[in-house]
Amino acid sequence: MHPQRLEILSGGAAQGLVAALAPRFKAETDCEIGGTFGAVGAMRDKLIGGAPADLLILTRRLIDELAVEGHVVPGSAADIGCVLTAVAVRQGDPAPAVGDAAGLRATLLAADAIYFPDPKLATAGIHFAAVIDRLGISTDVAGRLKTFPNGATAMRELAAARGGRPIGCTQVTEILNTPGAQLVAPLPQGYGLATIYTAAVCTKAVLPEEARALAALLAGEAARGARVRAGFT
């Protein structure tokens, strides 16, 4: 008999943490974890479009909205932690100065390719597009922007880039979870983004008890070390 499979729809920020805790979850519940990771807006759209899901891991704001709309079991939400949006380079590339707005602006202007997630559906992508605009360099860098459906894909493409001076921006957890990508630093003060991620049980869950168990594991004290290693604060 095959183990049961818990279906999740999750922001990419939680992918590394879920993978790290999956063996423990299976040992405790005899349940495997399946599902989709990506831009939170795309995951919301999948749920509303009828995609099967037992557990959601999205931003607290989206979980609250989905609860109002009846897609989330009341009282099931559990905050996992906070994730910062940060700058990345390829492993081994020198770390640029991004500690203040002037440094970030100069670094972006000097880059020949800028990798980041969907500026319409991804949390970090929406924010970073606004940062570029605030820095007054949208026109200057328009031809060098390389956007992808989610931060994980953006970081894989950054890591695979050859030559030049590429740079990337997405959430810390996605940078740390990508071989070949190197975390530089969070976006500077006044330009940063700290996002709370929350797990919640779907009202149409086939495995609601297992979904509650995974939410409790992700958010619980026993997983604190795993959360820190994954990039949650």
- Beta-carbon count within 10 A of 163 CB: 7
Total of domains in the chain: 2
Average pLDDT, integer, range 87-101: 96
Q: How many helices (H) and strands (E) does the chain have?
A: 10, 9
Mean pLDDT of 128-157: 97
Domain boundary pick from 152, 167, 186: 186
Asked if the model's pLDDT at residue 2 lies above 70, the reply is no
- Are 176 and 206 members of one domain? no
Residues 88 and 180 in one domain: yes
Amino acid 51: pLDDT: 95
* Helix pair angle (15-29, 208-219), 10° resolution: 120
**Is the CB of residue 231 less than 8 Å from the CB of residue 16?**
yes
112 and 67 assigned to the same domain: no
Q: What is the average pLDDT value for the chain, to the nearest integer?
A: 96
Predicted confidence at residue 1, as pLDDT, reads 54
Does residue 202 share a domain with residue 181? no
First to last CA, the chain: 39
- Look up the domain containing 132 and give its range: 83-186
Both 32 and 125 in a single domain? no
Any domain includes 191: no
- Whether residues 134 and 104 fall in one domain: yes
Percentage above 70 pLDDT, the chain = 99
231: tokens are 């990039």
Query: Which pLDDT value is given to residue 163?
Result: 86
CA distance 185 to 188: 8
Task: Output the CA torsion sign for 31, 228, 187, 113.
Answer: negative
Q: Is residue 48 part of a domain?
A: yes
Q: pLDDT class for 232, splitting at 50, 70, 90? A: very high
Q: Are residues 53 and 28 in the same domain?
A: yes
Phi, psi of 145, rounded to the nearest 5 degrees: -75, 130
On whether both 143 and 67 belong to a single domain, the answer is no
115 is a domain residue: yes
CA angle (223 as vertex; 217, 228 as ends), nearest 5: 135
Are 14 and 67 found together in one domain? yes
Assess whether pLDDT exceeds 80 at residue 16.
Answer: yes
Q: Does one domain contain both 114 and 69? A: no
Mean pLDDT of the region 89-111:
96
How remote is the C-alpha of 85 from its chain's centroid? 9
Residue 118 lies in a domain: yes
CATH number (domain holding residue 50): 3.40.190.10
Does 176 lie in the same domain as 89?
A: yes
Q: What tens digit of pLDDT does each residue of 170-226 get?
A: 999 999 999 999 999 999 999 999 999 999 999 999 999 999 999 999 999 999 999
In a domain, 167, yes or no: yes
Are residue 71 and residue 137 in the same domain, yes or no? no
Q: What is the dihedral of CA 208, 211, 215, 218, to 10 degrees?
A: 170
Tell me the average pLDDT across 10-24.
96
Query: Is 55 within 8 Å of 200 (Cβ atoms)?
Result: yes
Decide if 192 is inside a domain: no
Q: Do residues 188 and 86 touch, judged by C-beta distance below 8 A? A: no
Domain assignment present for residue 208? The answer is yes
Continuous H helices in 82-230: 101-110, 123-134, 138-141, 151-160, 172-176, 208-219, 224-230
- 170 to each of 51, 56, 183, 221, 225, how far by Cα in Å? 26, 20, 10, 26, 22
Among 122, 118, 152, smallest CA distance to 16 is for 152
In a domain, 32, yes or no: yes
- pLDDT value, residue 144: 96
Mind listing the pLDDT tens digit for each residue in 38-81? 999 999 999 999 999 999 999 999 999 999 999 999 999 999 99
